[in-house]
Structure 1
């Protein structure tokens, strides 16, 4: 596949971090092992965590708990891989948050029996390069040395792809952004620091989930019973939940289905796209929904509407999911499928003359810009323009020819051939990944996670080949050949 590099912007992960990385300079570490005196310490030293909602929460919680014991905490900067060795040698007091089995490899560390947070390792990549981006789909990747959860994932999946072990998060990020590797295997903590994470082309693939625990060196083992009692009391009192809220560290982890769930009746809506969401319940997308949801529902209902009615009905919670949307068109109380089901096409601005294109882009066009109702194309153009929505693209072009509107937002294939001279046009954006939208509530999360899990299996096991046409497989990057430059409807118009 052709290589594409994504540039992105900040994201706060739904899944909590497993590992805490260092950023801020602090006092140099004294490598002399701490005193073996039976007197309780007045200060404990740990590796400096990188600022994030979960890291800030963990620091605040442990700082408060240790303060009740008369112990203050100090943090020093060091690489993650070195940190474990230093903790195991007793040069620092322990580790703030690590996977629960880390003491098997570092025998001098003792676990504090209080789960701080749940976490997953995730693979971050550009879906235009690798589709759903499993390890089988990528050419190379990077991960941060000393990340034992990453090493567990690689061992369990028997990954042998070319990879670079980075010394730090910053180095891993640069390797990815500069095109040296195709993907990054990170904890969700690092993933939420990436600028690219909210870019619609970025895909985040969750892998092994662990629970993060606090560890102390064995010479501090006497502190553990009291620390555990304090942490459990803070949890019972609601203080832990309060600290999570104060640091915006709330999370809802991906569902792991041990058996087939049962969702009762599931009702789905979509715009009416011939061949994809036909009124009689046939079409590529409706067949895909049957493959995924029929095994876990008593009844499944399809509703093909105008795009505007589909969005309005979903917003009014009359449907469980909206099939066929892009990230820029959903509200804040909506969650998208992590996996995409297709890509739409490049979007264009059409006008009779090039001057009208220039005036539109400058926000100076006097006549309205026409588009199909339900799509938020206003976001792509200056907000001082006037907009007019219709139910069909051909109505827009007819009004453009009559001079009633000054420009049209549409796909290239939607421009009619009745004009004596070609329209002037300007590309507004490339094709975007098409998703399912679900409601941001417990049922919505479960439906979303079931869809992601099952759809990924359909693609990986190539059962998707019996549902999609070859052209769709190419356009969605589920095939190894590049997508076509022009295609028929993809469920986006």
Structure 2
């Protein structure tokens, strides 16, 4: 009992020391994950990791490329939604917090015989500026055209100025709902691969410390069931972890 009380006291003291220390986490705004109002699965995961230690977590939303820039230049601490080693001058943890289906939106009238990643051969492929999908796909000879946003990308596919738009499956479907200038029935959306999503930390002593805390706390929350509870609360599409009792 004495040891248990000591641990509780030490945890409380540590939290008190961190009470006024702010962590700024930045992300693109994704539905149910990183909403602009501070709600969402990913925001909740990060709060569960840091706030019990006494940190004050502040959320900020902007586009993806600016999110990366703000952490690379150490103006903010963490950005969300990166593939492993995707960005330079960024520290990556051991644990991912989610995974996503990466898909291609295309017109079957243009690509008549879809063959997965082989269908990229000789094509003009678009994705949102700052995303480095070419690092994670089987490299074939295709041209890359970066776009401002997914709505623009779908319009370019629709007008046949590019052959396909690559992005997360859920983001493509959401973009169809936001772009009333294209007809979803003219498109096919096919999964290319699955990629794990990580937080990216500033390449600094502070970033290293926050990364180490993230890995330790995420593993704890994963194996005590709190991460699964959050995924269930948000009715998430799938749970990208294999958790066994004999870890």
Q: Report the CA distance between 1:407 and its aligned residue.
A: 2.1
> Residues 270 and 402 (structure 1 numbering): CA distance in 2 closer, same or farther, change over 3 Å?
same
**Partner residue in 2 for 1:452:** 215
Q: Report the CA distance between 1:453 and its aligned residue.
A: 1.2
**Partner residue in 2 for 1:335:** 91
Q: Please show how residues 400-415 of structure 1 align to structure 2 within 5 Å.
A: 400-413=157-170, 414-415=172-173
**1:357–1:407 CA contact under 8 A, matched in 2:** no
Higher relative contact order structure (alpha carbons within 8 Å, sequence separation ≥ 6): 2
1:477 and 1:386 map into 2 onto residues whose CA distance is: 32
2:191 and 2:226 map into 1 onto residues whose CA distance is: 35
**Partner residue in 2 for 1:441:** 204
Q: Report the CA distance between 1:447 and its aligned residue.
A: 0.8
2:24 and 2:42 map into 1 onto residues whose CA distance is: 14
**Partner residue in 2 for 1:467:** 230
What is the RMSD computed on CA atoms of the aligned residues?
3.1
Which structure carries more helix by proportion? 2
> Residues 274 and 421 (structure 1 numbering): CA distance in 2 closer, same or farther, change over 3 Å?
closer
The structure with the larger Rg is 1
**Partner residue in 1 for 2:111:** 354
**Partner residue in 2 for 1:376:** 132
> Residues 442 and 478 (structure 1 numbering): CA distance in 2 closer, same or farther, change over 3 Å?
same
Q: How many residues are matched? A: 216
> Residues 300 and 421 (structure 1 numbering): CA distance in 2 closer, same or farther, change over 3 Å?
closer
> Residues 411 and 464 (structure 1 numbering): CA distance in 2 closer, same or farther, change over 3 Å?
closer
- Residue segments in structure 2 that go unaligned for 5+ positions in a row: 1-10, 177-181
1:337 and 1:324 map into 2 onto residues whose CA distance is: 12
2:215 and 2:226 map into 1 onto residues whose CA distance is: 15
**Partner residue in 1 for 2:64:** 307
- Residue segments in structure 1 that go unaligned for 5+ positions in a row: 1-256, 481-493
TM-score, normalised on structure 1?
A: 0.39
2:113 and 2:85 map into 1 onto residues whose CA distance is: 26
**Partner residue in 2 for 1:389:** 147
1:345 matched to 2:108? The reply is no
Q: Residue 77 of structure 2: which of 309, 317, 320 is its match?
A: 320
2:152 and 2:145 map into 1 onto residues whose CA distance is: 14
> Residues 420 and 298 (structure 1 numbering): CA distance in 2 closer, same or farther, change over 3 Å?
closer
**Partner residue in 1 for 2:33:** 276
Q: Report the CA distance between 1:405 and its aligned residue.
A: 2.1
